[in-house]
Amino acid sequence: MLLSVRGVTKDYGKRRAVDNVSFEVEKGEIFGLLGPNGAGKTTLVSMISGLIRPLTGDILLDGKSVLREPMEVKRRLGVVPQDIALYPSLTAVENLQFWARMQDVPAREESARIERVLGITGLSERRKDRVATFSGGMKRRLNIAVALLHNPLLLILDEPTVGVDPQSRTHILDTVADLAKQGLTVLFTSHYMEEVEHLCGRVAVMDEGKIIAQGTVTELKRIVGEMDEVSVNVTKLGANLVGGAGDDFYAQAKQEVPGLVDLRMNDEEIVAYTQSSSQLLPALLAFLVSRGFKIQSVSVKEPSLEAVFLKLTGKRLRD
């Protein structure tokens, strides 16, 4: 394996931000670290990067220990942090030149490497523009370019699509998939389960500092069993139904809707879990109509990682 995280813990004062976390990333895979805000993802990334020292445990990259050989680890690692580390008054190329020198890229290779990473991240045409004129998504792409300059073995992206326009988001996800196809190993953190589900081969689900499940997306989905997820978009969701009458509503639904295993509600959506959506649907819709809901649309799909998270923690991922 390329990366081995072994029993790593980190406290901030009395708060345990990362609690005895272990996982391994194989060469060439895109490994996802999925968890809500505050789960401990960035703290973990900071420890892998050697910016924070773990209280317990060790981290090995390509056999090199972050505690004993931090410089060897740094050389093999490209990190795209959540916070942008760019000079707005410099152009894209000037920023890359600065970072190439910081990372000891050999001078004779510098311009070729810069052209390459600009190409990979789709920024070639904006190379001479000042970073101050870039959108959030373009800055993030330039950060990825910076992280690739020294040809790392492992690329870590910490929530790379947060606060990014949809076009850049798609571009970033496509770029990561392409890089992995070319053999780069990627550790990708996110609280967007769709991204992780779409992009990552294996996933560790993290909550409150702990890894609560890990495996392939298919393996994780088995945690919720062979169930369908039925989403009903509704309007006129009476506040009384969601709030006060919640438990009662759920009990009534259980009684009147055959095949209903679980039911969740948020603002405009009711999500039902069932082993048989064809049996459930007519009764569920009739039940909702009888309670004053107006049905806008219905969709049936396999359970998402959201359902896995819900099952394991009782919480929604995006709370």
Ligand X SMILES: Nc1ncnc2c1ncn2[C@@H]1O[C@H](COP(=O)(O)OP(=O)(O)O)[C@@H](O)[C@H]1O
- The footprint of Mg ion (CB under 5 A) covers 41-42
Closest to Mg ion by CB, 37 vs 216, is: 37
Among Mg ion, ligand X, none, what does residue 307 contact (CB within 5–8 Å per kind)? none
The single residue among 5, 23, 29, 42 that binds ligand X, judged by CB under 6 A, is 42
CA atoms of 232 and 293, how far apart (whole Å): 10
The single residue among 21, 29, 32, 35 that binds ligand X, judged by CB under 6 A, is 35
CA 198 to chain CA centroid, nearest Å = 10
Q: Would you say 223 and 263 are in contact if contact means Cβ atoms under 8 Å apart?
A: no
* Closest CB 316 distance from Mg ion, rounded Å: 18
Does 20 bind ligand X (CB under 6 A)? Our answer is no
Does 49 bind ligand X (CB under 6 A)? Our answer is no
Does 43 bind ligand X (CB under 6 A)? Our answer is yes
Among Mg ion, ligand X, none, what does residue 3 contact (CB within 5–8 Å per kind)? none
Query: What is the strand order of the sheet 15-25 is part of?
Result: 15-25, 3-12, 56-61, 64-65
The single residue among 2, 17, 77, 281 that binds ligand X, judged by CB under 6 A, is 17
Does 15 bind ligand X (CB under 6 A)? Our answer is yes
Among ligand X, Mg ion, none, what does residue 137 contact (CB within 5–8 Å per kind)? none
CA 257 to chain CA centroid, nearest Å = 35
* Closest CB 302 distance from Mg ion, rounded Å: 28
Closest to ligand X by CB, 35 vs 160, is: 35
CA atoms of 263 and 287, how far apart (whole Å): 13
CA atoms of 284 and 287, how far apart (whole Å): 5
DSSP code of residue 302: P
CA atoms of 268 and 274, how far apart (whole Å): 20
Task: Tell me phi and psi for residue 275, to 5 degrees.
Answer: -90, -15
Contact residues for ligand X (CB under 6 A)? 12, 15, 17, 35, 37-43
